[in-house]
Amino acid sequence: MKVKTQSKKVNKAWLNQHVNDPYVKLAQKEGYRARAAYKLKELDETFRLVRPGQCVVDLGCAPGAWSQYLRRRLAPNGAATGALNGVIIGLDLLPMEPIDGVTFIQGDFREDAVLAQLQDALRVGDTLRPVDVVVSDMAPNLSGVEGVDAARISHLVELAVAFASEHLKPDGALAVKLFNGSGYNDLVQLFRNTFKVVKPLKPKSSRDKSSETFLVGMGLK
């Protein structure tokens, strides 16, 4: 019973923090599905990643807050529906409610068959549309075992870098979520080996207690 009581206290504390979170309130006010939209917004405003007319791939897109932000950025008037000046393709293992103008693929990014679907979505006739920006909010299910979790995180980031290397325009950009800790320095080095400019950023909307941070690579080497 003692453990159950502690669990209730923890859940109540988290719920209280969540309800009173200014970014949660702002997301509700502005029609975003999650507060995560403001992480991408800060990345975009800091590094000027997204512009109308671009082709953007959103990896780990569910529940859709990043795709919603991208959709508004590519819309002529910043609208959530209607005209769209650009292409947005979202991919996630989990289902996602439709977003007007966003092509969604449900599947595991680690599987070749799913990558093939993503490539098909980029196909225009006999050629593949070059991608301007790849954004990744992908994160594995964490086991609590540091070595195992670090390997899972690294694998997803490595896959995102490999995809970006193959599909980005020469001046394109990749933004990924990763976590401070084991394997972090190796991933930074991978970015430095791949991109001309590499910048880390922990957005203001990322909770202080979270070890998550973001890494942006711009311009393929």
Residue positions annotated with a catalytic role: 177
Chain CA centroid to CA 80, Å = 19
∠ CA 110-61-121, nearest 5°, is 70
181: left (phi over 0), alpha (psi -120 to 50) or beta: left
Residues whose CB falls within 8 Å of the CB of residue 126, separated by 6 or more in sequence, listed in order: none
Which amino acid would we find at residue 193? N
Chain CA centroid to CA 76, Å = 23
17, 115, 146, 159, 206 from 209: Cα distances, Å: 12, 34, 17, 27, 9
Strand locations in 109-167 (E):
123-124, 127-128, 131-136
Which amino acid would we find at residue 26? L
Burial class (CB in 10 A: 0-12, 13-18, 19+), 95: exposed
